Amino acid sequence: MKEKLSLAAKASNLEKKLHVEKEISAQFQSQLDLQYKKIHMFAGTRQLDKILSYGRTETSTEVSDTLEEMVQRPKTSSSCLLVCLHTVFT
């Protein structure tokens, strides 16, 4: 009998922990969805080009820079942003 009560208490405790973890997970998912929407809004717009050009120097304005090249040498804020976005969404 004591064993059943102990197991019931453990099950109840685990259910409470599961509920808390699900709430935390939902909050993180909501934040991630919001960030994704904000980033996706700028995709394909001139504003994205303007945002990505912030912090670029004359030597880093080459359009031919690939993401892989930027990962190898993140020197500007815009290339760091691209590397971060690539890391988050892949």
Cβ contacts of 57 within 8 Å, gap of 6 or more: 75, 76
What are the helix and strand counts (H, E) for the chain?
Answer: 4, 0
Question: Which of 29-38, 45-54, 69-78 has the largest mean confidence?
Answer: 29-38
Per-residue pLDDT averaged across 49-62, rounded? 61
Let me know whether 63 and 75 are in one domain.
yes
Instruction: Please report where in the chains the tokens 């892989």 appear, as a residue.
Output: 68
pTM across the whole model: 0.43
From 27, 42, 57, the end of a domain falls on 42
Task: State the residue for tokens 């190898």.
Answer: 72
Distance, CA of 7 to CA of 57 (rounded, Å): 64
Give how many domains the chain has, as a whole number. 2
Give dist(CA 52, CA 75) in Å, integer.
Answer: 13
Q: Which tokens hold the place of 79?
A: 């290339």
The parent domain of residue 53 ranges over 44-90
**Amino acid letter, residue 73:** R
Residue 8's pLDDT is: 93
Q: Could you tell me if 18 and 51 lie in one domain?
A: no
